[in-house]
């Protein structure tokens, strides 16, 4: 299926009137972030991750599944283009672990009335809640999370998040042109390489205005404001129930279809 705006609006809970301005951009960004989960379970079902419009719309809109950055930001870009926004893809290196990665994270640069905005609904638990203007050294608070952009002489620009009073590097990017083949290469590594975090770990995350819910393998974390609740899950069919109840993910498969991972 190609992009169906009515289905997208229903899926993310938008109003039928989309304004092509900064407020409209934030409305779309937040709506998708709070409705479509970040998740990588197709990798663990042995299914390919396809980035063409038909595949993205079928999986994320028709089948009510989620995805990771190439899928989530890919769908966001399709929607933004349809509604009349000007956007282009950027590629980033992730710095969360302290190690340098390849340029295998997709985000978007959106221009509204001559002003550039960074949009990203595909960075899991640390995703931006709303677009931030491309302005350096300005702290931006979003739902209790604080972000900023800084220039970096090596990597171009760095997105940081303030955690426990300390600024932590999330990812770096520049404005080099990004072509579909670049996205395909990054997606192939992310979904197939033994060195990819997403190949060896099951993850899911869903933001909400007052917190977020995140799953890494068998650990479920629910954050509501300053409160966090951690649950250790059991391996077995009940695991699929957690995916459905907390993230709306219906795998249409038995637990045994998932590639095994160490629950410890």
Q: Two tokens at 41?
A: 């379970």
Report how far residue 194's alpha carbon sits from residue 127's, in angstroms, rounded to the nearest whole number.
24
* Catalytically annotated residue among 57, 69, 95, 119: 69
Is a pLDDT exceeding 70 seen at residue 262?
no
Is a pLDDT exceeding 90 seen at residue 174?
yes
- The 10s digit of each residue's pLDDT in 64-113 is 999 999 999 999 999 999 999 999 999 999 999 888 899 999 999 999 99
Report how far residue 248's alpha carbon sits from residue 35's, in angstroms, rounded to the nearest whole number.
9
Report how far residue 6's alpha carbon sits from residue 211's, in angstroms, rounded to the nearest whole number.
28
Residue 264 annotated in active site = no
Sole residue written with tokens 């590629």: 91
* Catalytically annotated residue among 105, 116, 152, 264: 105
Is a pLDDT exceeding 80 seen at residue 264?
no
Report how far residue 172's alpha carbon sits from residue 123's, in angstroms, rounded to the nearest whole number.
13
Q: What is the pLDDT of residue 257?
A: 85
Res. 57 pLDDT band, cuts 50 70 90: very high
Is a pLDDT exceeding 60 seen at residue 208?
yes
Q: What is the pLDDT of residue 256?
A: 80
Residue 166 CB partners (closer than 8 Å, separation 6+): none
For the entire predicted model, the pTM comes to 0.95
Residue 31 CB partners (closer than 8 Å, separation 6+): 12, 13, 14
Give the domains, in start order, of the chain with CATH numbers. 5-257 (3.30.2140.20)
Residue 143 annotated in active site = no
Mean pLDDT of 52-67: 97
Is a pLDDT exceeding 80 seen at residue 252?
no
Cβ–Cβ < 8 Å for 119, 28: no
DSSP secondary structure of 87-120: EEEEEEEE-TTSS---EEEEEEEEEETTEEEEE-
As a whole-number percent, the residues of the chain with pLDDT over 70 amount to 98
As a three-state string, the secondary structure of 179-232 is CHHHHHHHHHHHHHCCCCHHHHCCEEEEEECCEEEEEECCEEEEEECCEEEEEE
Name the average pLDDT for the chain.
94
Residue 10 annotated in active site = no
Cβ–Cβ < 8 Å for 249, 239: no
Q: What is the pLDDT of residue 1?
A: 61
CA 215 to each of CA 26, 78, 157, 205: distance values in angstroms, whole numbers, following the listed order:
26, 27, 29, 6
CA 15 to each of CA 7, 29, 131, 195, 257: distance values in angstroms, whole numbers, following the listed order:
12, 13, 19, 41, 38
The conformation of residue 13, written as its DSSP 8-state character, comes to T
* Catalytically annotated residue among 44, 57, 119, 120: 120
């Amino acid at each position: 299926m190609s992009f169906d705006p009515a289905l997208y609006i229903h899926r993310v809970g938008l109003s039928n009137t989309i304004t092509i301005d900064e407020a409209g951009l934030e409305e779309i960004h937040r709506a998708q972030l709070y409705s479509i989960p970040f998740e990588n379970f197709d990798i663990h079902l042995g299914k390919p991750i396809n980035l063409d419009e038909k595949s993205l719309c079928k999986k994320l809109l028709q089948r009510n599944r989620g995805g990771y950055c190439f899928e989530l930001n890919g769908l966001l870009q399709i929607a933004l283009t349809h509604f009349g926004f000007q956007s282009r893809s950027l590629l980033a290196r992730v710095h969360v672990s302290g190690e340098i990665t390849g340029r295998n994270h997709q985000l978007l640069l959106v221009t509204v009335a001559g002003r550039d905005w960074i949009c990203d609904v595909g960075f899991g638990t640390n995703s931006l809640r709303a677009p931030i203007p491309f302005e350096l050294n300005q702290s931006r608070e979003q739902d209790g999370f604080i972000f900023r952009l800084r220039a970096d002489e090596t990597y171009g620009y760095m997105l940081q998040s303030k955690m426990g009073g300390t600024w932590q590097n999330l990812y770096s990017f520049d404005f080099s042109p990004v072509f579909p083949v670049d996205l395909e290469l990054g997606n192939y590594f992310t979904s197939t390489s033994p060195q990819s975090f997403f190949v060896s770990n099951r993850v899911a995350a869903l933001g909400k205005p007052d917190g977020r819910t995140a799953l890494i393998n068998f650990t479920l974390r629910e954050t509501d404001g300053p409160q966090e609740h951690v649950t250790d899950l059991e391996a077995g069919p009940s695991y699929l129930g957690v995916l459905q109840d907390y993230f709306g993910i219906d795998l249409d498969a038995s637990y045994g279809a998932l590639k095994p991972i160490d629950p410890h």
